[in-house]
Amino acid sequence: MRLELRQLAKRFDGLDVLADISLHVDAGEFVSILGPSGAGKSTIFKLLTGGLDADSGEILLNGAPPAGGKKPFAFMPQHDALMPWRRIIDNATLGLEVQGFSRRAARECVAPLFAEFGLDGFERHYPAQLSGGMRQRAALLRTVVQQRDMLLLDEPFGALDALTRAAMQRWLMKMWQRHRWTALLVTHDVREAVFLSDRIYVLSARPARVVSEITVTLPRPRLGLTSPEASAIESRLLQILLTPQSC
């Protein structure tokens, strides 16, 4: 599925949050939206998942406005949002249950994936018994089993410690190489964006507009983070982000 946003704008109580957001994500592509904190990155996701309506601009799916019915996005929030009262397997099946699967059928769908997500043997545990990294993997499992056309990842590793975050980024890259999900990632971590993405959109501070689009052609797996090419892209991104824009 191809997603295209055309000149999206959104105001809250007279405060311009999104000024001009135009971007696209092609099928099988991993695209990041990189921007300073409070730039309205999460607002873009709310417009996509239907929590909010844009004041102007268009959202196009395969060239057409989104139709009612099955939603094309699976959303993964910044904090894992696992339900503490559900076992991990029942957290993973949440999206399927909302779609109307019986609990049993949903469990059968999800159970074979636990090993791949490094959660083997933790099906019957509660979220409070898992480490931060495992919880985040469980949250990603809950996201991908919904079988939507596109993943929306809202700073998925933002709440983790630095070491766990680095491990999770490597893990996510491996998983993505295997499954080639179409994914849109929101982050303020420059290195994470370079590490994971095919393309990166850089947003300005509020009111947010796309100030730059950078294609990352580095070969995967990108384990040599210190390669001169990666460093060059990182410093270019930082320069864009740290230069004050007059708009």
Partner 1 sequence: MSSFSSCAHALASCFGKVGPALISVGTLVLAWELYARFSGISPTTLPAPSRVLAQAMQHRQALFDNTLPTIRATLFGFACSLVAAFVFSVLIDFFRPLRRALFPVFIISQTLPLIAIAPLVVLWFGFGLAPKIMLVALVTFFPMLVALAQGYEATDADIQSLLASMGASRLKIFRLARLPSALPYFFAGLRISITYAVVGAIFAEYAGAAKGLGIYILNAKNNFRPDLVLAAVLVSASLTLVLFGLTLLVQRLVMPWDRLGERRRP
Q: Please give the Cα distance from 40 to 30 (Å, whole number).
A: 20
Tell me whether residue 60 or residue 81 sits nearer to partner 1 (CB atom). Answer: 81
Q: Does 84 bind partner 1 (CB under 8 A)?
A: yes
Q: Please give the Cα distance from 170 to 235 (Å, whole number).
A: 21
Instruction: Determine which helix (DSSP H) or strand (DSSP E) holds 167, and give its type and residue range.
Output: helix 162-179
What mask of x and - would describe binding to partner 1 in positions 42 to 71, judged by CB under 8 A?
Answer: ----x--xxx------------------xx
Q: Does 128 bind partner 1 (CB under 8 A)?
A: yes
Q: Please give the Cα distance from 177 to 34 (Å, whole number).
A: 21
Q: Which of 3, 5, 73, 150 binds partner 1 (CB under 8 A)?
A: 73
Q: Which of 146, 187, 197, 204 binds partner 1 (CB under 8 A)?
A: 146
**Is residue 219 exposed (0-12), middle (13-18) or buried (19+ Cβ within 10 Å)?**
exposed
State the Cα angle at 66 between 63 and 71, rounded to 5°: 125
Query: Nearest approach, Cβ of 118 to partner 1 (angstroms)?
Result: 20
Q: Where along the sequence are the contacts to partner 1 (CB under 8 A)?
A: 46, 49-51, 70-71, 73-75, 77-79, 81, 83-85, 94-95, 97-99, 126-129, 146
